[in-house]
């Protein structure tokens, strides 16, 4: 099994007709993802890459049965694009867009909470989700994720997601599902929620979690894991271990505001929760190998 996506999903691309939308839609299709429609206001009725384009998400859903959306919309309009998918009953939304104002994302989070889990949002500012040999929604490079397997990956960093997958595959293992949740201070699905899905997935036997300085997503997950009776091996790397307080490290959410958000404190809490910490991303593959030997 995989989590959140499989071969049966029908993907809609919001912002299909833009440069990024066209490029990554073609990559998704080449990977085997079923892309059934695009949305660009004012371009309804046209066809790109053999895919019909609609003016609204609602219209696209009615005509194609699309149940997953991926968003390549510029940041000033991205929150509205997310809300449009929410109100069109899209079950999974993947927002690639970076630079969305925090105030916009707070509104989006409010609407997601009122729906109580009917819609799941991955991102924004994320690479998306991929389940090898099944489907891909987002911008993850096809070539790296070539092997299906039993390792689940959760990451706040896009590039480190790829690094972890590459290390794992080089050691002879495959990926069940890899999810980049995004590096912003306000994101949709949390690390804890994804771990919960991986724990329920019979195929996933080991979890790799890549975190960063800033925020408390990793801490919330670790404290929740500590209380569990049924666990799976979890390996984690925290990026930004040398970052000073008050300095942003690449992502909008990767800034230390409190002592608890430093790499050291996070790693200490996680280790006490039974999570294995690696000090360098190049050690992830070997740590996975040691779990099974």
Contact (Cβ atoms closer than 8 angstroms) between residue 169 and residue 146: yes
Residues 104 and 170 in one domain: no
Q: Which of 122, 156, 189 is the last residue of a domain?
A: 122
| Residue 128 domain flag | no
| Residue 134 domain flag | no
Residues 175 and 83 in one domain: no
Which of 54, 141, 56, 128 lies closest to 92 in space, CA to CA? 128
Active-site residue (options: 171, 251, 289, 293): 251
Domain containing residue 82? 11-122
Residues 173 and 276 in one domain: yes
Query: pTM of the prediction?
Result: 0.93
Secondary structure of residue 226 in the 3-state scheme: helix
Q: pLDDT (tens digit, 0 to 9) for every residue of the chain, 293 residues total?
A: 689 999 999 999 999 999 999 999 999 999 999 999 999 999 999 999 999 999 999 999 999 999 999 999 999 999 999 999 999 999 999 999 999 999 999 999 998 988 777 899 999 999 999 999 999 999 999 999 988 999 999 999 989 999 999 999 999 999 999 999 998 989 999 999 999 999 999 999 999 999 988 888 999 999 999 999 888 999 999 987 655 555 555 555 555 556 667 888 899 999 999 999 999 989 999 999 999 98
Residues 113 and 183 in one domain: no
In this structure, what CATH number is given to the domain that contains residue 95?
A: 3.40.50.720
Residues 196 and 278 in one domain: yes
DSSP-derived secondary structure letter, 275:
P
Residues 156 and 284 in one domain: yes
| Assigned token pair, 39 | 């949305």
**Known active-site residue 24:** no
* CA 215 vs CA 185, 187, 220, 262: distances in Å: 7, 11, 10, 9
Residues 261 and 201 in one domain: yes
Contact (Cβ atoms closer than 8 angstroms) between residue 25 and residue 92: no
In this structure, what CATH number is given to the domain that contains residue 218?
A: 3.40.50.261
Number of domains in the chain: 2
């Amino acid at each position: 099994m995989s989590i959140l996506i499989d071969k049966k999903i029908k993907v809609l691309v919001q912002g299909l007709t833009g440069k990024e939308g066209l490029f990554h839609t073609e990559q998704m299709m080449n990977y085997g993802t079923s892309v059934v429609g695009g949305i660009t206001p004012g371009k309804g009725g046209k066809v790109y890459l053999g895919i019909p384009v609609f003016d609204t998400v609602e219209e696209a859903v009615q005509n194609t049965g699309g149940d997953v959306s991926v968003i390549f919309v510029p940041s000033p309009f991205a929150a509205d694009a997310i809300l449009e998918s929410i109100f069109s009953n899209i079950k999974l939304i993947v927002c690639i867009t970076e630079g969305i104002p925090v105030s916009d994302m707070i509104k989006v989070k409010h609407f997601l909470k009122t729906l109580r889990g009917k819609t799941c949002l991955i991102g924004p500012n994320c690479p998306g989700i991929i389940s090898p040999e099944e489907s891909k929604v987002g911008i993850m490079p096809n070539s790296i994720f070539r092997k299906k397997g039993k390792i689940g990956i959760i990451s706040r960093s896009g590039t480190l997601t790829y690094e972890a997958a590459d290390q794992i595959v080089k050691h002879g293992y495959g990926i069940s599902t890899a999810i980049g949740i995004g590096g912003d201070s306000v994101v949709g699905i949390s690390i804890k929620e994804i771990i919960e899905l991986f724990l329920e997935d019979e195929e996933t036997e080991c979890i790799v979690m890549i975190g960063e300085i800033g925020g408390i997503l990793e801490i919330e997950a670790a404290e929740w894991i500590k209380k569990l009776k049924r666990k799976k091996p979890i390996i984690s790397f925290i990026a930004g271990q040398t970052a000073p307080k008050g300095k942003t490290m690449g992502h909008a959410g990767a800034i230390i505001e409190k002592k608890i958000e430093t790499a050291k404190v996070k790693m200490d809490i996680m280790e006490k929760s039974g999570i294995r910490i690696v000090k360098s991303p190049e050690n992830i593959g070997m740590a996975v190998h040691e779990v099974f030997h």
